Structure 1
Amino acid sequence: MPASLSVRDLVLRRPLRTATGTVAIRRVWILSIGDGSGLVGLGEAAPLQDFGGELIPACEKALKTALPLLTDEFVHGWLDRARADAPLGQLERVLAQTPCARSAVEGALLDLLAQLGGTPLAELLSPSYTPFLPVNALADAGIGQMSSALQAIASGYRTIKIKASADPAETSNALIKLRGQVGPEVALRVDANAAWNGDQAVRFAEATRLVDLEYLEQPLPVGDLQGMAALRLRTGMKIAVDESVRTPADVGRVGAAQAADIVVLKPAFLGGWRPIKQAAQLARTCGLEVVVTTAMDSAVGRAHATHIAAALGLEHRAQGLSTGELLVADSTSEPLKPSAGDIAIHARPGLGIGELIPG
């Protein structure tokens, strides 16, 4: 059988505190699909259910259900179509309610297809892909993490994303202090992970008016699009949404409500390249900018997100792709790594991240 599945627990160097809880370990599943000639495509499922992803047991069940269906006949039939956006046939029904699992299956097939064609995955997805992407560093609003933000800036990062705490006042105080330390040239963005209410978000916006934030991400609960539209109008602050977008159709709802300026798309949480491409096209139709981020995945998931961002040409705003620095150990021998605040797409075929490290 050409497909196999392994599970990994990714330990963070330091627990990451967010407004909805603390993340210390990430459990992910890595799917390997071979073509019989020695080439192996890799995909990853990294559900994070407290942040809008599917339930972990549902993801695992879907992957194990899909595994025996990934026969030689199915894999070669899909590869023979030579289309990056080709649907997954009978597997679409199996994976319909588990986008992280779908992303893993489609991702492994795409990696394999790109390897067979001798091109980077980004080039398979779009011949006009951008080879360099600016990325943000990630920290939380704790005192210790502010020092890590300063270290990231010293190493060349030009954008810092701060994970807000449940207390907007604590977050605003940390940002005011950080802005005073880094000056006006560094872009600062904040992610509240849908944890605040309208009054808290307004107070935060007023307290940080002079900080000149790049944007505030998901300040209000997932369904409160009208609240985020009102927040935009009242404060003039740019708003991004993440948890409010889990299907391409959600982008249309955000645009119709005028609830945001930017949509943050996680390939794993939307189901991979096919739905991400649809969501990005709809976003542009609605006049919304797009930022692609990971979900603290291993090297496999991060590489897929990076190639997708490159294929979408997202070179004008920092993308959220550098979370590998948070991990104690990674999943492949040559993960894509940022340098001076940018990630480069190598000329290596497929994901270009080396071999899977046993674990």
Structure 2
Amino acid sequence: MAITKMRWYPYSVPFRHPFTTAHGTLTMREGAIVEVFVEGNGSGIGEIAPMPEFGGETLDAALTILPSIAAHLSGRTLIEALNYVSIQQEAGELPAGVACGLEIALLDALGKQEGCSISTLLATNAAKTVVAANAVIGAQPVEAAARQAREAVAAGFRCLKLKIGHGLYEEIERVAAVRKAVGPEIHLRLDGNEGWSFEQARTILAACEPFAIQYVEQPLRVYDLSGMYRLRQEVSIPIAADEAVYNLESARRVLDWQAADVLIVKPQLVGGLRVGQRIVYEAAKYDVPCVVTSMIETGVGLLGALHLAAALPYITLECGFATLPLLADNLICEPCSLQHGILVVPQQPGLGVTLDRTALAKYRRTIQ
């Protein structure tokens, strides 16, 4: 089946409450749903949802290249289109978010054509049917963070990720309060979002060693791989590379530098599901585990990342998929089944979800 046309629908969905990290406070999530149509009235949907804080890519810049991409994909088969997207992405001609959104849409259409889920398309063996997720707690005052942590555990989460701000002793106090609130058995992660100097990171992490931290994400700036390596030698808390993993080559650099104990793989940031898959397999050669994480996309993008995690046997740690409740709407018709910290992977063909066009119209964003 050949591709007949492409459409894209920019959106702007508000957060239910302002969400604060070391990068700043978010009140709105912007992106675009992209739809690829094939002969016979079939179609597939994907999501382009860059964040300027991660790599500098903007939505407006991403959207300007879509008319040209649509012209290049018209008349190609889905496999030909997937190969074209990969070639363009590897050559640096496609922004990561655009490549990711197009790939998800093409895989969604291909899964429907083949009668199987995206995770089945990607898997070499049987794909998982469920994936464990961590809850996310924003960088907020001590009492609020502890309260949210207790609520997450009461809802069944066994792993929490605490966003860290720019402070020092108040950050240590927040970590201590959250650990006390949830007890010793819950996995607790920290996320620095590049917010610390080396000395701050060493001081905070050394003080947090008694709190059984599973790992800390990106405590230092993206480019400071030597600092990440040194930090691994000086504190016992494992170090995870997050923003430093923005494509396959960057992941290889992190691994070569021995700069991280864990890699965080965000499909929107690295350029798609199949690039994410290659990163996970590369990391496995170094015995470095990976965690697949959303970038607070709507349901379309998050389900794409969920299918990636389900397809990979090396993904055994909790993944960052409990982010849909942060948004006012997820833009999909089906409820995303998250129970007791476990996400059910849709088994229907493709993504396994349908676009909520009424919600999309409500949150439609005007292109500048």
What TM-score do you get using the length of structure 1 for normalisation?
0.93
Provide the secondary structure at the position in 1 that maps to 2:185: coil
Deviation at 1:90, TM superposition (A): 7.3
Q: Give the Cα separation in 1 of the matches to 2:56 and 2:335.
A: 24
CA contact (8 A) 1:2 1:33 kept: yes
Runs (4+) off by over 3 Å: 89-95
Partner of 2:364: none
| CA deviation after TM superposition for structure 1 residue 148, in Å | 2.2
1:156-175 matches, cutoff 5 A: 156-175=156-175
Structure 1 residues 335 and 45: alpha-carbon distance in aligned structure 2, compared to 1, 3 A threshold = farther
Report the equivalent of 2:210: 210
Structure 2 residue 121 is matched with structure 1 residue 124: yes
Q: What root-mean-square deviation, in Å, do the aligned CA atoms of Structure 1 and Structure 2 show?
A: 1.9
- Greater mean alpha carbon deviation, residues 59-68 or residues 221-230: 59-68
- Aligned counterparts of 1:145 and 1:184: Cα–Cα separation in 2: 17
Name the structure 2 match of 1:2: 5
Deviation at 1:273, TM superposition (A): 2.0
User: Which residue of the other structure, out of 103, 106, 109, is the alignment partner of 2:106?
Assistant: 109
What is the rounded CA distance, in whole Å, between the counterparts of 1:196 and 1:352 in structure 2? 40
Q: Structure 1 residues 229 and 180 mapped into 2: Cα distance closer, same or farther (>3 Å)?
A: same
The secondary structure found in structure 2 opposite 1:201 is helix
The answer to whether the 8 A contact 2:289-2:314 is kept is no
Matching residue's letter, 1:178 = V
How many angstroms apart in 2 are the aligned matches of 1:87 and 1:40?
Answer: 18
Greater CA drift, 142-151 or 165-174: 142-151
User: Who is 1:141 aligned against?
Assistant: 139
Give the match for residue 230 of structure 1. Answer: 230
1:197 maps to 197
Q: CA deviation at 1:316?
A: 2.2
Q: Describe the superposition over 1:32-74 as per-residue Cα deviations: whole angstroms up to 9, x where unpaired.
A: 1122323321111111011235233321222343233331x12
For the residue of structure 2 that corresponds to 1:214, the secondary structure is: strand
Aligned pairs (5 A) from 1:1-359: 1-52=4-55, 54-71=57-74, 73-74=75-76, 77-79=77-79, 86-88=83-85, 92=89, 96-126=93-123, 127-143=125-141, 144-358=144-358, 359=361
In structure 2, relative to structure 1, the CA distance for the partners of 1:41 and 1:97 (3 Å cut) is: closer
Q: Which runs of 5+ in 1 are unaligned?
A: none
Q: Distance in 1 between matches of 2:165 and 2:48?
A: 27
Q: 1:168 to 1:96 in 2, by over 3 A?
A: farther
Aligned partner letter, 2:25: T
Secondary structure (helix, strand or coil) at the match of 2:325 reads helix
> Would you say how many aligned residue pairs link Structure 1 and Structure 2?
353
Q: What TM-score, normalized by structure 2, do the two folds share?
A: 0.91
Kindly state the Cα deviation for residue 276 of structure 1 after the two structures are TM-superposed.
1.2
Kept after mapping to 2: 8 A contact 1:107/1:272: yes
Q: In structure 2, list runs of 5 or more residues that go unmatched.
A: 362-368
Q: In structure 2, how many angstroms separate the alpha carbons of the residues matched to 1:88 and 1:56?
A: 18
